[in-house]
Amino acid sequence: MGYTGITGPEHWGDLSKDYELSKTGKEQSPINITGAEDVDFPELNLNNQESEAHVKNNGHTIEVSFKNPKNTITISKEVYKLQQFHFHAPA
């Protein structure tokens, strides 16, 4: 719900005058982000290995999942496995 038909993104600018910019704006997300600060992040260590992946398009996202996740990222001695990632399409 919210991503197809009359409730899809192409109609969000018609829902209310408050959302008009999503119809006429030139940027994907017209959000004014203020108060940003530089921060120091811990070192990221990537371990990339060949992995079997499954790609699925469910109509609003492209999802890539891994059968046996072998790729990891280590942040502050904590190890995380890459199990899935996705992106929105159409954006």
- The active-site residue out of 11, 54, 60, 88 is 60
Put the strands of the sheet holding 84-88 in their side by side order. Answer: 53-57, 61-66, 84-88
60 is known as an active-site residue: yes
Put the strands of the sheet holding 72-75 in their side by side order. Answer: 44-47, 72-75, 78-81
Both tokens assigned to 89: 């399409």
Q: How far apart, in whole angstroms, are the C-alpha atoms of residue 77 and residue 23?
A: 45
Query: Which residues are designated catalytic?
Result: 60
